[in-house]
Structure 1
């Protein structure tokens, strides 16, 4: 059975439009093959002025470092505005694939859904000095190499249960347009047990996770083909414009904060 993931999370802030809007300089690097199933990418941004950094829900998690702090990002169900106040100093992130944090840390991810918390939550002493050691390195490339070496050294023997792994794959392949009853039947779990696994590994119920993937792919399609918003919504299983707008509101895409509201509104205006 092919478990390779076709999912590519979308973050508007990391596009050229987003970088220009928030004055960001971006570096991004895919992990080595030995970490590609657990880490989506390593990311580093610098800002030329204090700004906000809106993160849209995409089902992933991130370890987030600055010269002053280190944080773990729980799975988000609405836009999260992260303040970037250190001008021209690097913010470094280890961007985990959905559900893959437990490959390194024995934690219940549902405990930190919609939160940014201190690294103590991860209960792994090997990572508590990561921030200090990262900023002893002089370049993004060196920080990536150091992070990869540490991750590989401390990867845990636990991996995603095969049935959960298959459920995630089916959700990605269907862009979140998935019946939970059919999904549970397909992977051989009861809906209750499937939900318990989703909560433990992804921080969301199976239905909420699928909806997050669907909304993230909707935002991505709108970016790639500006002006066809309702068409993309209907193509992704939204019944009509009212259903689409209601789901957008549930994820705080336009309403979480003035910063996010203005950015997302301008981001999806037809250009040219």
Structure 2
């Protein structure tokens, strides 16, 4: 079967702002497929160069536009194509969109919206590359170059809050927040404020998402069973693990198809 999913980590020069790039191109296939999207902890810019998608985030189906910002999501939601799936996406570090464009991320929680006009005007070269005819790898090279040039004009500060987010990710969501606060030297109130503005979730909820997402990476390992995964992801016991998994996916982990080729697995296994 011809590859339709493409993904590549950002280079070190840009990885402090962008996590990865991805593309979906199902060529001429117009079969309508309903997909599930599961929280992974990273906001995105998304550009459609095929037919648009429909989403159901809060119980109502809506047709998406072509140039989108996706904020943090707290639970799974559904989407489906309306024709040809051709999408280019940029997955940012949790603080990336706020640092670049001063977007208040709490206003984007559980939302996928049209890119604001001011932001779209700024990133128009990125949009044009994303929807153009270059190969995926060629697009990534050109877009990285644009962002490297753009960052030269910004005065970015590595706040203690960002260091806390990095530690949460590094520790796979298993470390107590008080330990992280002490390690980076930030108060609970300051951390909450940082997360509200720059991430869009509370520190506690974000840690839950990061811990949960690690399940998908462990599930790919050979000779690993559920008891190992429960232990390695830091859940109290199997019932706690199952409850958390159901909250984020709507499914029991024993019935979830970890190796199925779908959007949820594509994003969470990387």
Same-fold call, TM > 0.5?
Answer: yes
Unaligned runs of 5+ in 2: 52-65, 261-270
Provide the residue aligned with 2:55 in structure 1. Answer: none
Could you say what secondary structure the match of 2:116 adopts? helix
1:103 aligns with 2:99: yes
Show CA shifts across 1:51-73 (max 9, x none).
23433212111111112511111
**Contact map agreement 1:66 1:131 (CA 8 A) in 2:** no
Select the residue among 10, 13, 18 that pairs with 1:34: 13
Choose 220-229 or 207-216, whichever is displaced more.
Answer: 220-229
Q: Contact 1:99/1:160 (CA < 8 Å) preserved in 2?
A: no
- Inter-partner Cα distance in structure 1 for 2:238 and 2:218: 16
1:165 to 162, 166, 184: 162
The 1:36–1:79 alpha-carbon spacing in structure 2 relative to 1, beyond 3 Å, is same
Aligned residue number for residue 111 of structure 2: 115
1:262, 1:214 → 2: CA distance?
15
Q: Secondary structure at the match of 1:223?
A: coil
More divergent stretch after superposition (129-138 vs 117-126): 129-138
Instruction: After TM superposition, list the pairs within 5 Å mapping 1:43-62 onto structure 2.
Output: 43-47=22-26, 48=29, 49-62=31-44
Which stretch of structure 1 is more off in the superposition, 158-167 or 70-79? Answer: 158-167
Deviation at 1:158, TM superposition (A): 4.2
RMSD: 2.9
What is the TM-score of this pair, normalised by structure 1?
0.76
Q: 2:90 aligns with which of 90, 94, 106?
A: 94
Of 211-220 and 153-162, the range deviating more from structure 2? 153-162
The 5 Å alignment of 1:1-150 reads 25-47=4-26, 48=29, 49-67=31-49, 69-87=66-84, 90-120=86-116, 123=119, 125-128=121-124, 130-132=126-128, 134-150=130-146
Alpha-carbon distance in 1 for matches of 2:92, 2:184? 23
Q: How many residues of Structure 1 are paired with residues of Structure 2 in the alignment?
A: 241
2:69–2:114 CA contact under 8 A, matched in 1:
yes
